[in-house]
Copies of this chain bind each other. A is one copy, B any other.
Amino acid sequence: MNTHSYPSHVHLVEVGPRDGLQNEAQPLPAAVKIELVQRLQAAGLRHIEVTSYVSPKWVPQMADKHEVMRGIQRQPGVCYAVLTPNLKGFEAALADRPDEIVVFGSASEAFSQKNINCSVAESIERFAPVVAAARAAGIFVRGAMSCTVGCPYEGEVAAQQVGRLAALMKGIGVQHVGVADTLGVGTPLKVQRAFEAALQHYELHQVSGHFHDTYGQALANTLAALQLGVAQFDASVAGLGGCPYARGASGNVATEDLVYLLHGMGIDTGVDLEALIDAGAYISAALGRTSGSRVARALLARRAQ
């Protein structure tokens, strides 16, 4: 029999308002986004990716970034994170006092070239001044590493490439890296290899998992990451969103499904699952669609009986 020492507590990063809504076709009013963030924090989430300081020309869904960030009634102890793709975005974000900024890079050269027209190394160099400015301002810097298992152009991505990207991020002062399976193609052993590569440059408490459920593997991959001692994960309420650049890559793992797994294993998250399901029902109704969470669908069906 195998006895793992699982973490007793897992820290969840709710990415629905940003990563999720950015990838939903339907635009929503700022008031709905603010209400969503408030419902999420009321449900016990202590880390929320709120918005992105990107040009509205490229991402019209995030044009209301200032309004959303300023409209939230902030709770002490909650980390409000934002995406800052460049120095201009970072400077715009500064006025809204984020607790954390997110920069990003791809483990796949082809993905980097096709999507942002530069090499992985160049993309990280461009982030260097953003990271320096954030750290000078006392803002925590998290790095999101995409395509750490598979790439729509290259196919399988070697763990070595993940290690290289993590080293580059470490080199510019990124304090935490997320290992993202952007396409959702990963399976447990491949995901563990990607984490092991990242862990050559970061400590266990400085890495997190970001899984897509496109192939239904997200929770199995989460279990595999937990078994390495990883204790921070991204998730998206109601399974909102996906990756707009990777075709067929819809499907962030639903926060509800992840919380159910963790609580079922006796791992604390601080989240009230019923309140989280209500937050997911709220945003699903606003989008006029069914929740992407199987747990939400099953428990809502049970409530309706």
Could you list which residues of chain A lie within 8 angstroms of chain B, going by C-beta atoms? 1-2, 4, 184, 186-190, 192, 196, 213-217, 219-220, 222-224, 227-228, 247-248, 251, 254, 257, 260-261, 264-266, 293-295, 298, 301-302, 305
For A220, give its contact among B189, B228, B261, B266 (CB under 8 Å): B261
Contacts of A301 in B (CB 8 A): 247-248
Q: Is the CB of A215 within 8 A of B248?
A: no
Asked if residues B294 and A214 are in contact (CB atoms below 8 Å), the reply is: yes
- Asked if B298 and A188 sit within 8 Å, CB to CB, the answer is no
Is the Cβ of A215 less than 8 Å from the Cβ of B257? yes
Chain B residue numbers with a CB within 8 Å of A228 are 1-2
Number of copies: 2
CA distance A33 to B184 in the complex (A): 32
Can you list 16 A-B pairs with a CB-CB distance of less than 8 A?
Answer: A2-B2, A184-B298, A187-B265, A188-B223, A188-B261, A188-B264, A188-B265, A214-B298, A215-B257, A215-B260, A216-B219, A219-B219, A220-B261, A223-B224, A247-B302, A248-B298
Q: Is the CB–CB distance between A264 and B187 below 8 Å?
A: yes
Chain B positions within 8 Å of A2 at CB level: 2, 4, 227-228
Given contacts A1-B196, A184-B298, A189-B266, contact A257 B223 (CB under 8 A): no
CA distance A225 to B24 in the complex (A): 36
Bound-complex Cα distance A64 to B290 (A):
36
**A305 / chain B contacts, CB cutoff of 8 Å:** 247-248
* Chain B residues in 8 Å Cβ range of A264: 186-190, 217
